Chains A and B, each alone.
Chain A
Amino acid sequence: DQQVKQNSPSLSVQEGRISILNCDYTNSMFDYFLWYKKYPAEGPTFLISISSIKDKNEDGRFTVFLNKSAKHLSLHIVPSQPGDSAVYFCAAVYNFNKFYFGSGTKLNVKP
Chain B
Amino acid sequence: DAGVTQSPTHLIKTRGQQVTLRCSPKSGHDTVSWYQQALGQGPQFIFQYYEEEERQRGNFPDRFSGHQFPNYSSELNVNALLLGDSALYLCASSLSTRASGQYFGPGTRLTVT
Task: Decide whether A and B assemble into one complex.
Answer: yes
**Is B56 a contact partner of A43 (Cβ separation < 8 A)?**
no
**Is A104 a contact partner of B100 (Cβ separation < 8 A)?**
no
**Is B99 a contact partner of A43 (Cβ separation < 8 A)?**
no
Interface residues of A in 72-111 (CB under 8 A from B): 89, 91, 93, 95-104
A105 CB to closest chain B CB (Å) equals: 10
Interface residues of B in 70-105 (CB under 8 A from A): 90, 92, 99-105
Q: In the complex, which residues of chain A have a beta carbon less than 8 angstroms from the beta carbon of B102?
A: 46, 99
Supposing A43-B107, A99-B33 touch, asked if A34 and B41 sit within 8 A by C-beta, the answer is: no
Interface size of B by CB at 8 A reads: 25
Supposing A93-B99, A97-B48, A99-B45 touch, asked if A44 and B104 sit within 8 A by C-beta, the answer is: yes
A45 CB to closest chain B CB (Å) equals: 7
**Is A89 a contact partner of B48 (Cβ separation < 8 A)?**
no
A85 CB to closest chain B CB (Å) equals: 18
Whole-angstrom CA separation of A44 from B105 in the bound complex? 8
Q: In the complex, which residues of chain B have a beta carbon less than 8 angstroms from the beta carbon of A95?
A: 56
- Among A4, A34, A44, A102, the one with the most B-chain Cβ atoms within 10 Å of its Cβ is A44
Q: Which residues of chain B have a CB within 8 Å of any CB of chain A?
A: 4, 31, 33, 35, 40-45, 48, 55-56, 58, 90, 92, 99-107
**Is A103 a contact partner of B40 (Cβ separation < 8 A)?**
yes
Supposing A49-B100, A93-B99 touch, asked if A101 and B42 sit within 8 A by C-beta, the answer is: yes
Sample (9) of A-B pairs whose CB atoms are under 8 Å apart: A43-B90, A44-B90, A44-B104, A46-B102, A89-B43, A98-B45, A98-B48, A101-B42, A104-B41
B36 CB to closest chain A CB (Å) equals: 11
